[in-house]
Copies of this chain bind each other. A is one copy, B any other.
Amino acid sequence: MDDILQNGHKLLHPGLSVDCVIFGFHGNQLKVLLLRMKHAAQWALPGGFVRKEEDVDDAAVRVLQSRTGLEDVFLRQFYLFGEVARSEPNLNGEMMVRQGKAPDQDHWLRQRFVSMGYYALVDFQTAVPRPDPISDACAWWDLQQVPVLALDHSQILAKALETLRRQLTYQPIGYNLLPEKFTMPELQKLYETILNKALDRRNFQRKMLGYGILKRLEERKSGGAHKAPYLYSFDKERYQLALQDGLQQGW
């Protein structure tokens, strides 16, 4: 840490950071991954700096891995937070003061930073976070219970959630979040959880089947109610195509 404070300007691309919003879903719960740095009062998104010799997209993957332990996460760019005001008051600098450092006004960490936002949606049960050495906690938070975050991270989280919700209208979602075979109500619950609202059962089913990304299986869900619901799985080829071209399969 001391080395980075002293030599960061030689190693890092100036004035550029990345912040990762990792949403986690499992069993009808939607969470977000947050970190709390040692000596810090507030929780924050996992973020960090970009090395001089590193693609920005690669930096996001490395930062996420090194700060939270999460690997193999497919991160998407969603927005560059480029306002001047986000670096004032200079909370990076203040944090350093709290940690007993007193950086000069022209210290690299006190300069203006723009931050590239990345997001992903993973199964939080298989993604077990561990904090890095400069943090004392790394945890999945219920979205409803997230406190006010450090810096402008509350806005970054809000924008990511908006992006994730919009994504539902034109891209498929659910692969790796649901069991391989799932029922229509389970898929609907995923959408309802992300959107935080109830959806009409029949409309949902009609719309979802219309996308042509589901295969209805021969077997039905055993146990449970008198009429066992159908089981579905994703048609991986069509799912992949819809990821690429959009759910409407273009025009």
Contacts and interface: CB of A to CB of B under 8 A. Distances in A.
A71 interface: no
SS of A interface (majority): mixed
A251 interface: yes
Interface stretch (A40-48, A76-84, A125-133): A76-84
* Copies of this chain present: 2
Contact of A80 (B85, B112, B116, B165): B116
Interface in A163-179: 165-166, 168-170
Contacts of A77: 79-80
Interface stretch (A52-60, A61-69, A214-222): A52-60
Nearest to A53: B84
Contacts of A55: 82-85
Interface of A: 13-16, 50, 52-57, 59, 77, 79-80, 82-85, 112, 114, 116, 165-166, 168-170, 191, 195, 199, 204, 207, 245-248, 250-251
